[in-house]
């Protein structure tokens, strides 16, 4: 197929690096993208109108650099989860007055998981409260050590607002990408990835493609995700019509029969007939199967891959209620060593499990471990869509045991906990001698009387114990189903508050195959 096109050494040419800018909100990602674009766009003419097509190129010392214009690691990892490796280099922006924040850490871990080199831009250096030393100190704790301190990470102080340090930053990007020896062969037919796409009233399906190898030409028969067609018109990042686009070039194209998704791959075919039949069969498979069972990121599947020698590392994401617990868990997990298979922790954090954790897990074949925390609504949906396994626990040794057992191929315990339902507390009533009654509304599954219960506040498990009483109006109830109200009291727990979630669970015997 075209993916395996033979390429001789002479055909290979240097190609521009593709750069993504990531970092905490408000640290200046958008300002930096704007600042670079405004000062350096590859256009000799003054007043050239730049067009937003999701990516742009600049030229420095006769060399080009491509920037993806969607800041943040969500887009980056969503693409990676879809199998596309687009970025060659990540710029992590840290505001000098604010320092390392949670999303900074997230961005670093996303970049590391993708094995993409990192350059740190310390932004807002114009501010009086700027403290670059503190930023460097804090980043050292996350494995980014400046060269002056014996490490190998490049730090560039900048002010996106004043346009200061931008030239140095661009030079460093070229320096780091030279080490990577980025090559492609412009002579072959094009392959690449969708950066963004939408339906335009007048023009139909409009897609921004990043050509990653080969040259894309107007008239090429092309399959893009489940869509296909012929490249009708092609526009570059300056809004100019172009006839061809080489490696690392972003272009907007029209001519597709449907709208592809960001992260979809594209391939050019010899003739339109082949493109059409491939396109149609792809559309069919896309409809039939989201992700095959075997591809789902479950502990079982990962173990299977490991036991067949396909994988030597078990990737984990660890989330817990407080930072201290996160660290304790990570430390214990890293010590696990079963027959040469290692545990690799690719991301940790305090607080509820988020969608970003799930996309990172899907992209990196990782399991998410939640300790005293729960996935939020978006994370739950994403985990179902992506088939990512979330293992929730309350006792550290149980986590360790489960992972160890999984690695030894003995996943199933004889009894397994099963969550039967969740109720939201709408009102609380204190009754002397009885305690606090939680007037609740069952939002999922059902509440059952002899169940174990957990109280979840803001995504964090704050209590685990037993249900004491379950009532419908004044009467005792055996169970109360979704959509109904009930009164709940919990043994030895009277601190229930409005907005809390009460989760009911039972222990079930697991039948072994």
Determine the Cα–Cα distance for residues 235 and 242; give it in Å rounded to an integer: 6
Each residue 293-332 as x (binds ligand GDP by CB under 6 A) or -, in order, gives ----------------------------------------
Choose the binding region for ligand GDP from 27-35, 203-211, 340-348, 353-361 (rule: CB under 6 A).
27-35
52 is annotated as contributing to ligand binding: no
End-to-end alpha carbon distance in the chain: 41
User: 280 vs 227, 258, 310, CA distance in Å?
Assistant: 8, 11, 32
Give the range of 58-66, 123-131, 213-221, 292-300 binding ligand GDP by CB under 6 A.
123-131
Structure tokens at 272: 């339109």
The response to whether 27 counts as a known ligand-binding position is yes
Within residues 5-24, the interface with ligand GDP by CB under 6 A covers 23
Supply the minimum distance, in Å, between the C-beta of residue 129 and ligand GDP: 10
In the shown chain, the binding pattern of residues 144 to 173 toward ligand GDP, with x for contact by CB under 6 A and - for none, equals: ---------------xxx------------
Beta bridge partners of 504: 421, 453
Q: Is residue 126 involved in binding ligand GDP (CB under 6 A)?
A: yes
Closer CB to ligand GDP, 67 or 266, in the complex: 67
Closer residue to ligand GDP (CB): 86 or 92: 92
| Residue 26 touching ligand GDP (CB under 6 A) | yes
Please indicate if the annotation marks 259 as binding a ligand: no
How far apart (Å, rounded) are the C-alpha atoms in residues 486 and 475? 10
The binder of ligand GDP chosen from 16, 20, 27, 346 (CB under 6 A):
27
Pairing of strands 452-457, 435-448: unpaired
Nearest alpha-carbon partner for 318 in 245, 386, 371, 265: 371
Tokens of 473: 């109006």
Task: Measure the CA–CA gap between 295 and 309, rounded to whole angstroms.
Answer: 16
**In 10 A of CB 205, how many CB atoms?**
20
Residues 6+ apart with CB under 8 A from 200: 206, 254
Helix (H, G, I), strand (E, B) or coil at 244: strand
Q: Is 29 in the site for ligand GDP (CB under 6 A)?
A: yes
| 214 annotated as a binding-site residue | no
Q: What is the closest distance, in whole angstroms, from the C-beta atom of residue 135 to ligand GDP in the complex?
A: 13
Rg over CA atoms, the chain: 26
The Cα 251–Cα 172 span in angstroms is 25
Nearest residue (CB) to ligand GDP, 77 versus 489: 77
Q: Which of residues 70-89 bind ligand GDP (CB under 6 A)?
A: 71
Which listed range, 28-36, 259-267, 449-457, 466-474, lies at the site for ligand GDP (CB under 6 A)?
Answer: 28-36
Which of 5, 30, 140, 436 is close enough to bind ligand GDP by CB under 6 A? Answer: 30
State yes or no: 143 annotated in a binding site. Answer: no
CB atoms within 10 A of CB 335: 8
Q: CB under 6 A: which stretch of 121-129, 168-176, 392-400, 496-504 binds ligand GDP? A: 121-129
Distance CA 81, CA 75 (A): 10
Nearer to ligand GDP, 159 or 215 (CB): 159
| 125 marked as binding residue | yes
Least CB distance to ligand GDP at residue 124 (A): 4
Q: How many CB atoms lie within 10 A of CB 463?
A: 16
Angstrom CA distances, 47 to 250, 301, 338, 454, stand at 21, 55, 62, 62
334 is in an annotated binding site: no
73 is in an annotated binding site: yes
Least distance in Å: CB of 80 to ligand GDP?
Answer: 20
> Using an 8 Å Cβ cutoff, are 493 and 438 in contact?
no
Binding site residues, as ranges?
23-30, 69-73, 123-126
Annotated binding site for GTP: 23-30, 69-73, 123-126
Q: Which residues bind ligand GDP (CB under 6 A)?
A: 23, 25-31, 71, 123-124, 126-127, 159-161
């Amino acid at each position: 197929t075209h993916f395996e096109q033979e390429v001789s050494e002479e055909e290979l040419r240097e190609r521009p690096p593709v750069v993504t800018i990531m970092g905490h909100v408000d640290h200046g990602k958008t300002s930096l993208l704007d600042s670079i674009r405004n000062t350096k766009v590859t256009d000799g003419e003054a007043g050239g109108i730049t067009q937003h097509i999701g990516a742009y190129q600049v030229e420095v010392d006769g060399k080009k650099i491509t920037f993806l214009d969607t800041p943040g690691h969500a887009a980056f990892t969503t693409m990676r989860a879809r199998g596309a490796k687009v970025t060659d280099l990540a710029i992590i922006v840290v505001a000098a007055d604010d320092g390392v924040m949670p999303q900074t850490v997230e961005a670093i871990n996303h970049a590391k998981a993708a094995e993409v080199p990192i350059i740190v831009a310390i932004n807002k250096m114009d501010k009086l409260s700027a403290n670059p030393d503190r930023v460097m100190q804090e980043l050292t704790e996350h494995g980014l050590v400046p060269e002056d301190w014996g490490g190998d990470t490049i730090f560039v102080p900048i002010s996106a607002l004043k346009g200061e340090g931008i030239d140095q930053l661009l030079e460093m990007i070229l320096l780091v990408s030279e080490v990577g020896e980025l090559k492609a062969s412009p002579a072959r037919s094009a392959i690449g990835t969708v950066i963004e796409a939408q339906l335009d009233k007048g023009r139909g399906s409009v897609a921004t493609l990043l050509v990653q190898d080969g040259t894309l030409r107007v008239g090429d028969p092309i399959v893009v995700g489940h869509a296909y067609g012929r490249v009708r018109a092609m526009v570059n990042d300056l809004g100019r019509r172009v006839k061809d686009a080489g490696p690392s070039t972003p272009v907007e194209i029209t001519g597709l029969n449907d709208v592809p998704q960001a992260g979809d791959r594209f391939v050019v075919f010899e003739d339109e007939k082949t493109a059409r039949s491939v396109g149609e069969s792809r559309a069919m498979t896309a409809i039939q199967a989201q992700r095959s069972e075997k591809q789902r990121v479950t502990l079982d599947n990962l173990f299977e891959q490991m036991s067949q020698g396909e994988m030597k590392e078990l990737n984990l994401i660890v989330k817990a209620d407080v930072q201290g617990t996160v660290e304790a868990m990570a430390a214990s997990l890293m010590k696990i060593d079963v027959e040469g298979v290692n545990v690799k922790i690719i991301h940790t954090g305090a607080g509820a499990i988020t969608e970003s954790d799930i996309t990172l897990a899907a992209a990196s074949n990782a399991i998410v471990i939640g300790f005293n925390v729960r996935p939020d609504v978006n994370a739950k949906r994403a985990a179902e869509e992506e088939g990512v396994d979330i293992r929730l626990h309350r006792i550290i040794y149980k986590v360790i045991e489960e992972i160890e057992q999984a690695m030894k191929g003995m996943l199933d315990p004889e009894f397994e906990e099963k969550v039967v339902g969740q109720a939201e507390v709408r009102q609380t009533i204190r009754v002397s001698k009885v305690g606090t009654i939680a007037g609740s509304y069952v939002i999922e599954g059902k509440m059952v009387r002899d169940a174990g219960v957990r109280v979840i506040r803001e995504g964090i498990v704050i209590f685990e114990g037993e249900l004491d009483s379950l009532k419908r109006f004044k009467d005792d109830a055996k169970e109360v189903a979704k959509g109904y109200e009930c009164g709940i009291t919990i043994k030895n727990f009277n601190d229930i508050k409005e907005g809390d979630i009460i989760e009911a669970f039972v222990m079930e015997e697991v039948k072994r195959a």
